[in-house]
Structure 1
Amino acid sequence: MEKRKIEIMDTTLRDGEQTSGVSFSAAEKLTIAQLLLEELNIDRIEIASARVSEGEFQGVSGIMSWAEEKGYTDRIEVLAFVDGGISIEWMKKAGAKVQNLLTKGSLNHLTHQLKKTPEQHFTEIAQSIALANENGISTNVYLEDWSNGMRNSPEYVFQYLDFLVTQPVKRILLPDTLGVLIPSDTFEFISKITARYPNIHFDFHAHNDYDLSVANVMEAVKAGISGLHVTVNGMGERAGNAPLESTVAVINDFMPEVKINIKESSLYSVSKLVETFTGYRIPANKPIVGDNVFTQTAGIHADGDNKNNLYFNDLLPERFGRKRKYALGKTSGKANIEKNLQELGLKLNPEDLKLVTQRIIELGDKKETVTKEDLPYIISDVLDSQSYEEKIVVESYVLVHAKGLRPSTTLCLKIDGEIFEENAQGDGQFDAFMNALSKIYKTKKMILPKLVDYAVRIPPGSSSDALCETIITWTNNGKEFKTRGLDSDQTVAAIIATQKMLNVVVI
């Protein structure tokens, strides 16, 4: 049996742009339109509202010029209004070929906003459709507030639909404008409509005010809908629209009776581009495209993945151009660390692995996540620490750095069980620390090695909270040696490296 095809219409560039504070430039609109149609293989896109602004006109003109060359003009739509032909004239100048005509889908909106009778509204709509046809523009019709119309004035909705099916309309668009539908309502309302008009193409346009948009999309499909409206990252007014990413995954995995043509592997890259253009961060836990959704944090989960993929489901990250990650932090176990070591091509013996695991747990208490790229530094730090016995310990310190004042350090050092405390200033916090340390060593008539090189590294691609590896080269009695310190704070990492140096010298 052949699967029923569901059209996907993306309205990121029109309804998604109604997200508070979001406005795409003409160049950004063109880039997103190209990716939606060619990279993701979206069936149709809604790119603007007619007559809104000069910037909107330039954006539509640029997209339509490109679409004309590619043969995509019938896949690009513009929201238009029942306004005596003003929208049609605007669309003609911009080169647009498909109008999504905004009309009233509830008696409440018609009566209180337009203050017209159904017959008056239908007459004006017929005139708008006829004028569009005369100018080579095809028409889809939005029934604004349709969901409330079905609840409160269903007789009006069916009166309107009886009229619309007599018109040269390509599609009828059913929006849950205020996001008020629950799944059972969605199924009931759309089933009634598809049963009464089995040969008409209906689209469902969900909003996410109750976080039910994807559930409502599923019920619309079950009820026989022909098309769905979505936005990248679920952008849109208030709580946004049905998210493209989740809609695609849910249909592909749970609705075998229908098919869509979206290229899943490009969803993540397009999502990240839209995030960049809008400045709206994708929540880390957002399904499909969030940073954390393919990251196992608990060690028991990584262990289960090693044992026949016990914690895998059908949402394999590779489907969406992503990879599974195993977070490193205070909830990590050896299995998480082994997974990350495998990716780096590293292997540790059981004893060293235990020490590295403990060190990661300690770091996790200071820093929420340790990255895979941090691992080589941690291994180096841990294995290096085993080469000496700590006879000298930096018990505590206070680092002070204030604008207009020289940095200072108060240091408490324990040498063979004896406590020493000193304060000193310096050209920087670490210099002040070294000056305080020098005072203590002079008191003990001990000689400090000379610092000859100081280097700081962070893993490639890290952010400002990355672990720092401070590598200090010292010279003592004509011999050079290096010690390393690791911490998310550069000065603290240098102090750790210095403590190692003090212990290496007294061996």
Structure 2
Amino acid sequence: MLGDLTPTIKIYDTTLRDGTQGEGVSFSAEDKVKIALRLDEMGFHYIEGGWPGSNPKDMEFFELIKQYPLKQAVVAAFGSTCRPGVPAHQDTNLKRLVESGVKLATIFGKAWDFHVTKALNTTLEENLRMVRDSVAYLKSQGLKVFFDAEHFFDGFKANPDYALAVLQAAAGAGADAVVLCDTNGGSLPFEVQQAVSRVVRQLPGVPVGIHAHNDGELAVANTIMAVQAGATQVQGTVNGLGERCGNANLCSVIPNLAFKLGYQTIPRENLVYLTELSRFVYEVANLNPVANQPFVGESAFAHKGGIHVSALMKETGTYEHLAPELVGNQRRVLMSELSGLSNLLYKYKELHLDKNSPEGRQVLEQLKNMEHRGYQFEAAEGSLELMLRKAVNGYREPFQLESMRLILEMREQQPIYSEAVIKLRVGEELVHTAAEGNGPVNALDNALRKALETIYPRVADLRLLDYKVRVLEEKAGTEALVRVLIETGDGKKTWGTVGVSTNIIEASWQALADSMAYGLLEEQKLTVTNTKK
């Protein structure tokens, strides 16, 4: 820990600009406002809203965000230096930055001589003029200015004197910070540390930032090394969104700086909302969360091996580098063929399993045998708990299937007709009903609900959220074993159930019946006190 004398590392988020350059990522102006407000609530220092000179949507964002008084964050507009041969005060893009109404402009310029002569097709001196004049013009308009030195690390390796001269041109013109960009994402941590250290020495008093891309999967490491070398501003995106392989992931950078190195970043008390922020941005971006994402991913603190869980029961630090609650995440214990009795003991404490319980070991063996046959309980904890309750807790099923018949009728140029007829035993009552559906599984779902709703009103609150089928023996063709996973929710929580069979209808019924039975556990109080069979 570095203690109270450690400087505050300013967090500069570029999700709304650089993040949108990632494949499959698109935000509306309203989406950007939602994310910006959440970042402000979290205590981020700067939010880069977009490039007002590039598209109308970004300009719309800058107009919309003016309606919201931000608590902490300063909104930045992004752009480039003036073009070769064009005076800064006549450059259209620079004028758009001023017109956006922001107080902070971040502009990029070339720091690699190769790019200056080949991409810009101009001279090294003209590039320095462009940097100086652009910064000076924006400062004359009353804006705070950050200068992003594009391709800095590649430029520093090729021609360090020129790369440093670009920074000096920006700083000399009044830039409030110079940001070193690993634009191609290929630098190594020791290279970043050496370069940043030299910049900090040669530009005393000038705040230095780091903007790393993840093409070598080192963006987070490079960012941390830059801070260790003296950088005081960190640029990145939530969840590492960005072009190609993405940007430095702030959901990893921030907790590493805060918890591992003791730096001040966003307010410490807000770090408990980091997981929520991650999932919120994924949701707005219409992207599936990355399960194994460090710190905030669903699997970040998931434990599967029996030895691991046994140790965790004694001391969580044995297999966790950080308490998940610090970042708003939670510990999860998974069940599979790799599990030991410790997993069961930890996961189902309320069932009061004893470590020497023959019932528990029986269930564990049953679990391993079922997974060998194709079942998978990591995403089907509802089915697992029902199986466990049947073995150790005197569980009574809320219904039993007496018979089921499916009717499918296909006629030329007409939709396929599907009907399910089922007969259930609910306690002493026999319920016989039928329902149509959009396919056989939907018809079966509708018939089951219809049969249960009059007896169990809670069934109306249960919603099927996801239905997945996986073929387990591809070479067996249509005779293959299939696994059906169903996710169900009641508006408060969700649970998964599983079924396996060579018949997809039977597998679907197993998962569907378990999903309803699990949803009825609480209302019907179907558990009884521990009774050993």
Mark yes or no: TM-score above 0.5. yes
Which whole-Å CA distance do the structure 2 matches of 1:79 and 1:427 have between them?
A: 59
Per the alignment, residue 229 of structure 2 pairs with 223
Say if 2:107 is the partner of 1:104: no
Aligned to 1:135: 141
Structure 1 residues 382, 493: CA separation in 2 closer, same or farther (over 3 Å shift)? farther
Larger mean CA deviation between 301-310 and 210-219 belongs to: 301-310
SS in 1 for 2:235: strand
Q: Report the counterpart of residue 274 of structure 1 in structure 2.
A: 281
- Structure 1 residues 386 and 122, CA, compared in 2 at 3 Å: closer, same or farther? closer
- 1:242 and 2:285 aligned: no
Cα distance 1:370–1:381, how it changes in 2: closer, same or farther (>3 A)?
farther
Aligned to 1:354: 361
Residues 143 and 174, structure 1, Cα contact 8 Å, conserved in 2: yes
Q: Cα RMSD over matched residues?
A: 3.4
**What is the distance in 2 between the residues matched to 1:280 and 1:494?**
27
Structure 1 CA distance for aligned equivalents of residues 30 and 512 of structure 2: 47
- Is 1:64–1:94's contact at 8 Å kept on the other side of the alignment? no
Aligned twin of 1:299: 306
Q: Take 1:282 and 1:202, find their aligned partners in 2: how far apart are those partners?
A: 32
1:28 aligns with 2:28: no
Q: What residue ranges of structure 2 are gaps of 5+ in the alignment? A: 83-89, 397-404, 412-417, 433-450, 454-458, 468-484, 489-496, 501-506, 515-533
**What is the CA-CA distance between 1:467 and the residue it aligns to?**
8.2
Q: What is the alpha-carbon distance in structure 2 between the residues aligned to residue 43 and residue 7 of structure 1?
A: 6
3-state secondary structure, aligned to 1:4: coil
Partner in structure 2 of residue 369 of structure 1: 378
Q: Distance in 2 between matches of 1:253 and 1:109?
A: 39
Aligned to 1:439: none
How many Å separate the matches in 1 of 2:92 and 2:8?
35
Cα offsets for 1:2-27 (capped at 9, x unmatched): 11221111111111111012111111
SS for the counterpart of 2:266 is coil
1:375-411 superposed Cα distances (whole Å, 9 cap, x missing partner): 5422344469999xxxxxxxxxxx9986629xxxxxx
SS in 1 for 2:329: coil
Q: How far apart are the structure 2 equivalents of 1:297 and 1:264?
A: 26
The match for 2:295 is 288
Please identify, of 316-325 and 160-169, the stretch whose mean Cα deviation from structure 2 is larger.
Answer: 160-169
Supply the distance in 2 between the matched residues of 1:370 and 1:80 (Cα, whole angstroms). 45
Please, what TM-score do these two structures have when normalized by structure 1?
Answer: 0.76
Which position in structure 1 is the counterpart of 2:49? 47
CA distance in 1, matches of 2:513, 2:272: 46
Q: 1:317 aligns with which of 308, 314, 324?
A: 324
Distance, in Å, in 2 between the alignment partners of 1:46 and 1:370 is: 38
Output the amino acid matched with 1:52.
S
TM-score calculated relative to the size of structure 2:
0.72
Structure with greater Cα Rg: 1
Are the structure 2 counterparts of residues 493 and 368 from structure 1 closer, same or farther at C-alpha, using a change threshold of 3 Å?
Answer: closer
The aligned counterpart of 2:271 is 264
Instruction: Specify whether residues 123 and 355 from structure 1 end up closer, same or farther in structure 2 by C-alpha distance, changes over 3 A only.
Output: same
Q: What is residue 79 of structure 2 aligned with on the other side?
A: 80
- Take 2:289 and 2:321, find their aligned partners in 1: how far apart are those partners? 22
Task: Tell me the alpha carbon deviations over residues 465-488 of structure 1, each in whole angstroms, 9 at most, x when there is no partner.
Answer: 1389xxxxxxxxxxxxxxxx9846
Contact kept? 1:9, 1:44, Cα under 8 Å:
yes
Alignment match of 1:15 (pick from 1, 18, 22): 18
What amino acid is aligned across from residue 278 of structure 2 in structure 1? S
TM-superposed deviation, 1:63: 1.6
Q: Structure 1 residues 353 and 459, CA, compared in 2 at 3 Å: closer, same or farther?
A: farther
SS in structure 2 at match of 1:259: coil
State whether residues 295 and 325 of structure 1, in contact with CA within 8 Å, keep that contact through their aligned partners in structure 2: yes
* Structure 2 CA distance for partners of 1:368 and 1:234, relative to 1, 3 Å: same
Cα distance in 1, alignment partners of residues 133 and 391 from structure 2: 78
Aligned to 2:97: 91
Q: Which moved more, 1:91-100 or 1:229-238?
A: 91-100
Relative to structure 2, which stretch is displaced further, 13-22 or 89-98? 89-98
Percent sequence identity over aligned pairs: 24
Q: Which amino acid aligns with 2:364?
A: T
CA distance in 1, matches of 2:127, 2:213: 25
Q: How much does 1:171 deviate? A: 0.7
Please state how far the C-alpha of 1:157 moved relative to its aligned partner: 1.1
Instruction: Pick which of 6-15 and 85-94 moved more.
Output: 85-94
Of residues 49, 60, 63 in structure 2, which corresponds to 1:61? 63
| Residues 333 and 110 of structure 1, relative CA distance in 2, 3 Å threshold | same
Mean alpha-carbon deviation: is it higher for 274-283 or for 193-202? Answer: 274-283
Matches within 5 A, 1:396-411: 404=410
Other-structure match for 1:188: 194
Please give the alpha-carbon distance, in whole angstroms, between the structure 2 residues aligned to 1:264 and 1:242: 18
d(CA) in 2 for partners of 1:82, 1:275: 32
Q: Which residue of 2 is the match for residue 378 of structure 1?
A: 387
Flag the 1:353–1:98 CA change in 2: closer, same or farther, 3 A: same
Mapped partners of 2:395, 2:38: distance in 1: 53
- Cα–Cα, structure 1 residues 77 and 230, in superposed 2: closer, same or farther, change >3 Å? same
- Residues of 2 paired with 1:333 and 1:241: CA distance? 39
Q: Deviation of residue 173 (structure 1)?
A: 1.1
Distance 1:427 1:115, change over 3 A: closer
- Determine the C-alpha separation between the residues in 2 that align with 1:132 and 1:493: 63
Corresponding position of 2:5: 2
Q: Which residue of 1 aligns with 2:152?
A: 146
Instruction: State the alpha-carbon separation in 2 of the partners of residues 208 and 375 from structure 1.
Output: 39
Aligned equivalents of 1:64 and 1:149: distance in 2?
Answer: 38
Q: Give, in whole Å, the separation in 2 of the partners of 1:386 and 1:3.
A: 57
Provide the C-alpha distance between the structure 1 equivalents of 2:258 and 2:212, rounded to a whole number of angstroms: 18
SS of residue matched to 2:78: strand
* Matching residue's letter, 1:228: V
Determine if contact 2:295/2:329 at 8 Å carries over to the other structure.
no
Report matched runs for 1:135-174 at 5 Å. 135-174=141-180
Q: How many residues align?
A: 430
Q: Which amino acid aligns with 2:486?
A: A
Q: Which residue of 1 aligns with 2:400?
A: none
Q: Distance in 1 between matches of 2:368 and 2:422?
A: 26
Structure-to-structure mapping, 1:424-435, within 5 angstroms: 428=420
Distance in 1 separating the partners of 2:487 and 2:134: 63
Gap runs ≥5 in structure 1: 388-398, 406-425, 432-448, 469-484, 497-507
- Is 1:339 the equivalent of 2:346? yes
Q: Give the Cα separation in 2 of the matches to 1:277 and 1:60.
A: 19
Q: 1:374 to 1:450 in 2, by over 3 A?
A: closer
